[in-house]
């Protein structure tokens, strides 16, 4: 959640400025992961919740920082879509407290892994990168699940219940692959 989280909280609660100083980077954190979709109300908060849950179950929570955002600001401040929350809850994932936000330029430097749900949003994120090292961090989430033979997590917003279940299946596979890569790359 980094410094941006504390800044947002500080902006919401201005009564006691001194207790809301930005958190210093935890030296135990070896990887900061950002999940990205268009509006940050369906796919990316689902990916955040799934990754957080599975990473905690794998004993990696102290070593990771996870967040999500959208390439557009149309839903900023809103909780995840009710249908996403219901589908996630049925599999034991909590989206409580998550709120939509827009991708910020600072995110491109702060996060180590910037994982996008589809090609359109991948291009939007890459277009905001000003340096090669930023671009090198940006990938599709399903790059971590090549066995699926799919590259994109489709947007379930305009579909039925089965679309949200399919999104969860894809995200679970992608996050499991990501966890394996992080374990190997960072010796965890």
User: What are the domain boundaries of the chain?
Assistant: 29-186
Q: Which residue has the higher pLDDT, 65 or 158?
A: 65
29-186 in CATH: which number? 3.40.50.2300
What is the tens place of the pLDDT at every residue in 132-158?
999 999 999 999 999 999 999 999 988
| pLDDT exceeds 70 at position 165 | yes
Work out the mean pLDDT of the chain and round it to a whole number.
89
pLDDT classification of 114: cutoffs 50, 70, 90 = very high
Task: Read off the pTM.
Answer: 0.86
- At 84, give phi and psi (nearest 5°): -65, -45
* Alpha carbons 36 and 88: distance in angstroms, whole number: 17
Angle between helices 43-57 and 161-186 in degrees, nearest 10: 50
Provide the annotated active-site residues.
Answer: 37, 43, 155
Residue-level pLDDT at 112 = 96
CA torsion sign for 123, 40, 141, 167 is negative
Distance of CA 90 to the CA centre of its chain: 20
Of 12, 24, 48, the C-alpha closest to 167 is: 48
């Amino acid at each position: 959640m980094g410094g941006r989280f504390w800044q947002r909280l500080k902006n919401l609660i201005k009564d006691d400025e001194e207790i809301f100083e930005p958190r210093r980077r935890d030296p135990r954190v070896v990887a900061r992961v950002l999940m990205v979709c268009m509006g940050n109300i369906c796919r990316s908060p689902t990916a955040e919740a799934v990754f957080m849950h599975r990473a905690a179950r794998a004993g990696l929570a102290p070593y990771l920082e996870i967040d999500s955002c959208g390439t557009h600001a149309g839903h900023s401040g809103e909780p995840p879509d009710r249908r996403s929350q219901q589908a996630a809850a049925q599999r034991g994932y909590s989206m409580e407290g998550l709120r939509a936000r827009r991708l910020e330029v600072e995110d491109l430097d702060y996060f180590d892994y910037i994982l996008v749900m589809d090609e359109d949003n991948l291009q939007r994120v890459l277009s905001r990168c000003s340096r090669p090292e930023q671009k090198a961090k940006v990938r599709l989430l399903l790059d971590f699940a090549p066995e699926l033979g799919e590259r994109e997590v489709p947007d379930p917003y305009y579909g039925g219940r089965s679309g949200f279940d399919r999104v969860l299946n894809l995200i679970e596979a992608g996050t499991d692959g990501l966890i394996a890569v992080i374990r190997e790359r960072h010796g965890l």
